[in-house]
Amino acid sequence: MKLIMLGAPGAGKGTQAKKIAEKYNIPHISTGDIFRANIKNGTELGQKAKTYMDQGLLVPDELVVDLVMDRFAQPDCENGYVLDGFPRTIPQAEALDAALEKAGAKIDYAINVEVPDENIINRMSGRRACVGCGATYHIVHIPPKTEGVCDKCQKELILRDDDKPETVKKRLDVYHEQTQPLMDYYMEKGVLVEVDGTVAMEEVFDAIVEILGA
């Protein structure tokens, strides 16, 4: 079962990817984790990626695809994987498909967690982070016992810059411009499935399980 998670920042795709990985006993793979692991282990691909990152440059698509394919070749991916945060653009999707085809494999489903922008802005602007221990809360869904104070270390809770409505709006604009075309790409491939991300987390997961089969 080879899956790709799609969805806007804050749509909850990372949470669903973890739950899918747990239920189906397949690894949850994010490109950030792949980069960190390869750099930490000093692999050839990791060193190449690091030279770009150290200069503040984006790692080229071909190198990212090489890193992803290298990760797919590991034993824990034998029964599949759930890929989160990649591909983000059409060229990346095409490069990934070409590499998979070469390896005699293909993506089974691209799962889009669909949430309107307005919901995401409200959801993310309600997040609060502790300045001390980094614990996260939500003023509606996971409120602290005392408003503005961390339950764990009693330090102040703040709204992070990247959760402010204007920042979230900018991130969503970039997402729609770059990543939205992926929906059409995977729809044409016949692998796109969509779930309503506005309902409770468990309901979203139930909808995904129904698509994938128990």
Active site residue 127: yes
Taking only the tens place, the pLDDT of each residue in 37-73 is: 999 999 999 999 999 989 988 889 999 999 999 999 9
Specify the pTM.
0.84
Taking only the tens place, the pLDDT of each residue in 160-172 is: 998 999 999 998 9
Active site residue 36: no
Q: Answer yes or no: is pLDDT of 126 > 80.
A: yes
* All domains in the chain, ordered by first residue: 2-115+176-212 (3.40.50.300)
Catalytic annotation, pick one of 23, 36, 152, 160: 160
Catalytic annotation, pick one of 48, 50, 88, 155: 88
Q: Answer yes or no: is pLDDT of 186 > 80.
A: yes
Q: Answer yes or no: is pLDDT of 9 > 90.
A: no
C-beta separation of 20 from 208 below 8 A: yes
Active site residue 13: yes
What is the reported pLDDT for 57? 87
What is the reported pLDDT for 38? 93
Active site residue 2: no
Catalytic annotation, pick one of 2, 13, 19, 128: 13
How many whole angstroms separate alpha carbon 83 and alpha carbon 81? 6
What is the reported pLDDT for 214? 65
C-beta separation of 172 from 163 below 8 A: no
Active site residue 123: no
Taking only the tens place, the pLDDT of each residue in 128-150 is: 999 999 899 999 889 999 999 99
Catalytic annotation, pick one of 2, 71, 127, 128: 127
